[in-house]
């Protein structure tokens, strides 16, 4: 009878453990389960590799299929590898795998944390700009133009303007913007007078970039509108961006010789600010993306934005905020920014 009582007592449910008890149990497991450090070495190496890719992305060569530029285009998404690595580390009960994740998390936050956690956009600014690749096949150009006009920007840049639809955009925007210029497949609409409007040669054989001087109340501003060549990812050729890269070099060369101190670049650059192939432009201009913690601002594709390939960049002015506008009938989202001249 005594033995039966002892057995019942030993097998009884002790009830919920106190936090101190759980902590002691965890310390005991860490001290006695030697495998907790030996397991998950491969997962830990994956974390180290992920860290190296994010830290050394600029060193990854473009010689084979523009691999470096492809990785840089989607670099923010590399953070999505962290949750599955954490889950696998927990399932393996590997302290080594879990601790190793500190490396990629720290690097990702250093690269992109400011876009998410910085102070949000404030008020101020005296010049608002917007840009939109309207898509040559847009079924409702007038409706798209009206949506963009609703942002009440001082200047609006449009790309992919086919000859047969230019009149529709001009008519829809005429009431909001008394001044405009269309060069090839790009155009600029402004509340302020335009002068010196001309095409910009980006080595394509046809016009997909332009420049104009906007006479703002604060003085002249040189505004560029550009639509760099499209890029593709092909199994046999990799990231086909060579033509875009040549156009970016030509655009950057032109901007570097602009005589006006204040410069704004609006357009679809078919590349992100992380892509080293756009250095001819990005090295001399400042992106408005995330200027005040507005997030990634992905603009393409509109149905599920994965990359910020539409850009607003400035030189000689202070960016205050940047944001995406509601979707139109285009495959790109329009974007806008407010700056201080």
Q: Are 49 and 173 found together in one domain?
A: no
- In this prediction, residue 120 carries a pLDDT of 54
Tell me the pLDDT tens digit for each residue of 213-256.
Answer: 999 999 999 999 999 999 887 666 567 789 999 999 999 999 99
Q: Which of 117, 136, 151 is the last residue of a domain?
A: 117
- In this prediction, residue 304 carries a pLDDT of 95
167/179 Cα distance (integer angstroms): 14
Residue 54 — very low, low, confident or very high, per pLDDT cuts 50/70/90?
Answer: very high
Question: Strands 155-159 and 179-183: what pairing?
Answer: unpaired
Q: Which of 117, 139, 166 is the last residue of a domain?
A: 117
Q: What is the mean pLDDT of residues 308-325?
A: 94
Tell me the pLDDT tens digit for each residue of 74-109.
Answer: 999 999 999 999 999 999 999 999 999 999 999 999
245/242 Cα distance (integer angstroms): 5
Average pLDDT, the chain: 89
Q: Are 135 and 106 found together in one domain?
A: no
Residue 146 — very low, low, confident or very high, per pLDDT cuts 50/70/90?
Answer: very high
- In this prediction, residue 209 carries a pLDDT of 98
Report if residue 13 sits inside a domain.
yes
- In this prediction, residue 23 carries a pLDDT of 64
- The yes-or-no verdict on residue 193 having pLDDT over 70 is yes
Tell me the pLDDT tens digit for each residue of 271-292.
Answer: 999 999 999 999 999 999 866 5
Q: Are 297 and 174 found together in one domain?
A: yes
Is the Cβ–Cβ distance between 157 and 292 less than 8 Å?
no
Q: Are 65 and 137 found together in one domain?
A: no
Q: Which of 91, 117, 143 is the last residue of a domain?
A: 117
Per the structure, the complete domain to which residue 101 belongs is given by 2-117
- Number of structural domains (the chain) is 2
- The yes-or-no verdict on residue 139 having pLDDT over 60 is yes
- In this prediction, residue 116 carries a pLDDT of 76
40/97 Cα distance (integer angstroms): 5
């Amino acid at each position: 009878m005594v033995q039966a009582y002892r057995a019942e007592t030993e097998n009884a449910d002790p009830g919920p453990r106190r936090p101190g008890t759980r902590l002691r149990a965890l310390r005991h497991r860490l001290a006695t389960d030697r495998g907790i450090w030996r397991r998950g070495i491969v997962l830990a190496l994956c974390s180290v590799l992920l860290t190296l890719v994010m830290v050394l992305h600029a060193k990854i060569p473009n010689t084979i299929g523009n691999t470096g530029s492809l990785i840089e285009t989607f670099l923010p998404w590399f953070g999505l590898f962290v949750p599955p690595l954490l889950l696998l580390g927990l399932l393996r009960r590997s302290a080594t795998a879990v601790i190793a994740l500190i490396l990629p998390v720290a690097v990702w936050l250093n690269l992109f944390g400011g876009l998410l956690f910085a102070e949000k956009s404030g008020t101020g600014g005296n010049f608002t700009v917007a840009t939109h690749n309207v898509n040559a096949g847009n079924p409702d150009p007038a409706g798209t133009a009206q949506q963009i006009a609703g942002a009440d920007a001082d200047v609006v840049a449009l790309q992919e303007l086919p000859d047969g639809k230019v009149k529709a955009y001009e008519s829809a925007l005429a009431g909001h913007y008394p001044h405009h210029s269309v060069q090839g497949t790009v155009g600029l609409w402004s509340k302020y007078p335009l002068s010196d409007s001309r095409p910009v040669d980006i080595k394509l054989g046809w016009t997909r970039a332009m420049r104009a001087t906007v006479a703002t109340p604060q003085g002249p501003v040189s505004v560029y509108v550009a639509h760099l060549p499209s890029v593709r990812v092909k199994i046999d050729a990799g990231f086909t961006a060579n033509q875009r890269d040549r156009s970016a070099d030509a655009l950057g060369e032109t901007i570097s010789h602009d005589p006006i101190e204040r410069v704004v670049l609006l357009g679809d650059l078919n590349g992100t600010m992380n892509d080293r192939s756009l250095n001819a432009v990005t090295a001399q201009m400042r992106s408005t993306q995330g200027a005040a913690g507005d997030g990634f601002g992905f603009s393409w594709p509109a149905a599920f934005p994965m990359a910020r390939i539409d850009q607003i960049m400035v030189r000689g002015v202070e960016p205050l905020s940047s944001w995406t506008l509601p979707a139109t009938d285009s495959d790109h989202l329009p974007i806008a920014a407010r700056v201080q001249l």
